[in-house]
Amino acid sequence: ATATIGLTGLAVMGRNLARNIARNGHTIAVHNRTAAKMTALVEEFSDEAREGGGELVGSESLEDFVASIQQPRTILVMVKAGEPTDAVIDELVPLLDEGDIVVDAGNAHFTDTLRRQQALEEKGLHFVGMGVSGGEEGALNGPSIMVGGSEHAYENLGPVMESIAAVVDGTPCSTHVGPDGAGHFVKMVHNGIEYADMQLIAESFDLLRTVGGLEPAEIADVFDEWNRGDLESFLIEMTADVLRHTDAETGKPFVDVVLDQAEQKGTGRWTVQSALDLGVPITGIAEATFARSLSGHAEQRAAAREMFSTTSEEHTVEVDRDVFVDQVRAALYASKVVAYAQGFDQIAAGAEEHGWDIDLGSIATIWRGGCIIRAQFLDRIKEAYAEEPDLTTLLTTPYFADAVKDGVDAWRDVVATAAQAGVPIPAFASSLSYFDGLRRGRLPAALIQGLRDNFGAHTYQRVDRDGSFHTTWAGDRTEQEA
Ligand code: NBP
């Protein structure tokens, strides 16, 4: 046994993660169900590994793979989420010894992680659910790593992960998020926030083009400009890149030749499902997920287009182009603050529900680099939690509160203009409604309570004294204490 760590599952993610680990000085055992991928990796990258002080130790069989790892073993599983992950774990378990650590580095649902952790714990094994963000490129050059499982497991796994993670201001973007499913839960919310971020960017693009009259290449310039300010982030930078790209075949802007139906692998949906269970209004993420679904309903879209196509054309809205561009920037920033505030609320609620002690500031810290939502903005969130670890909502912290106050008029103008012009902006509009909902003195929830009491005797509370009350709606309308 020579390797300090092992990795099975050498598709794009596993292969790059293995290279990253090896060239950062670790000897890593590698295995893949289809052995050719293992052989190719070892042949192509053994020199690279040695230059970094590490080594790739390939095995064709799972038995040889396990035997080549030092005990207690740490084994990363990087295969397709769901059944393949269970299949690999089932094959591995009989070959392992007490105290070994199995790490699922795929995109598992956190409830699967909870189940697997329990099953392996009963066998004397440690199980870690680990979220890895940053896609292929991140896996190779430095991902953001959200590690669940026990403290003990992190003591073994952590140093290797911290040596391969992205680094921002000298801090590696890898942390022990919390026990059992916490790592995968946080990774799930990360992906949900990524959905919201992308939807907000897409709505900005649509508005700038449809209402502002800018061409994709001009919008690319706008995004470049935005990337030099508060909005600076990987996704904003990438948006400029994609918008500037021209299709080689037709010479048209690339964005015009791509079918406008957004796909999804499911992490956005999981985030929304979990938020519904937790009772956390993550409206930005939910609208972003539904917007992707809507885009895929081609038949309904065609029917509605045919029926209502002229309706929006009657409402062209005149705007001052430069003013409008700046208004959209402010609306994007304020909506983004809402989406992140909601995402962090969900992590806090999940931690409470599952008994995970999650340091929210450390989550913002490890999302600053390596992952898809990396952004300057996360520094501000990190600072907010450093100042007030138990803050009620990110929205009311001084920096974000000022940003929202400064942008709120523009935000309202953009939402109103979009409504008049018939441009769909579900994420912008729902974020503004969320903000207004939170800041409003009295909500019409009082009327809902009245209706519930009327049809179902569900009772209500009063503003002026304690207790639960019911009005005898069908009788003499006297109020009774319930
Ligand atoms: P895939 O998700 O496409 O999975 C392919 C790997 O799973 C191959 O190594 C394949 O082996 C193996 N596999 C399958 Br499928 N069924 C198996 C089974 N029954 N037994 C053993 N091995 C099996 O690879 P990926 O895109 O590299 O992603 C890996 C994980 O990382 C996934 O959970 C994914 O959700 C997650 N992730 C991906 C990204 C990304 O950007 N792609 C980002 C973050 C996280 P074979 O070669 O023999 O077919």
Tell me the average pLDDT of the chain. Answer: 96
What predicted TM-score, i.e. pTM, was given to this entire model? Answer: 0.96
With cut-offs at 50, 70 and 90, classify the pLDDT of residue 360: very high
Is the CB of residue 14 below 6 angstroms from any atom belonging to ligand 1? yes
What pLDDT score was predicted for residue 187? 97
Catalytic choice (55, 162, 194, 287): 194
Rounded CA separation 317/367 (Å): 39
Distance (Å) of CA 266 to CA 93, 135, 275, 285, 287: 28, 16, 14, 13, 14
Is the CB of residue 62 below 6 angstroms from any atom belonging to ligand 1? no
With cut-offs at 50, 70 and 90, classify the pLDDT of residue 98: very high
Q: Report CA(367)–ligand 1 centroid distance (Å).
A: 23
- Give the 3-state secondary structure percentages of the chain, helix then strand then coil, rounded to 5: 60, 10, 30
329 neighbors 403 (Cβ within 8 angstroms): no
Which residue shows structure tokens 């319930």? 482
Average pLDDT of the segment spanning 176-197: 97
What pLDDT score was predicted for residue 314? 52
Ligand 1, pocket-test mutation among 19, 77, 80, most atoms within 8 A of CB: 80
- Tens digits of residue pLDDT in 300-323: 999 999 998 765 555 678 999 999
Q: Answer yes or no: is the ipTM higher than 0.95.
A: yes
Is the CB of residue 81 below 6 angstroms from any atom belonging to ligand 1? yes
Average pLDDT of the segment spanning 375-388: 94
What pLDDT score was predicted for residue 317? 87
The backbone region for 129, taken as left when phi is positive above 0, alpha when psi lies in -120 to 50, beta otherwise, is beta
Average pLDDT of the segment spanning 127-148: 97
CB neighbour class for 401 (10 Å; exposed up to 12, middle 13-18, buried from 19): middle
Ligand 1, pocket-test mutation among 19, 79, 265, most atoms within 8 A of CB: 79
Ligand 1, atom 11: closest residue by C-alpha: 33
- Tens digits of residue pLDDT in 460-475: 999 999 999 999 999 9
What pLDDT score was predicted for residue 179? 96
What pLDDT score was predicted for residue 315? 62
Rounded CA separation 113/182 (Å): 9
Does the active-site annotation cover 187? Answer: yes
Rounded CA separation 13/247 (Å): 28
- Tens digits of residue pLDDT in 100-122: 999 999 999 999 999 999 999 99
- Tens digits of residue pLDDT in 36-87: 999 999 999 999 999 999 999 999 999 999 999 999 999 999 999 999 999 9
Is the CB of residue 79 below 6 angstroms from any atom belonging to ligand 1? yes
Does the active-site annotation cover 336? Answer: no
Average pLDDT of the segment spanning 356-367: 96
- Tens digits of residue pLDDT in 219-267: 999 999 999 999 999 999 999 999 999 999 999 999 999 999 999 989 9
What pLDDT score was predicted for residue 1? 63
Average pLDDT of the segment spanning 209-226: 97
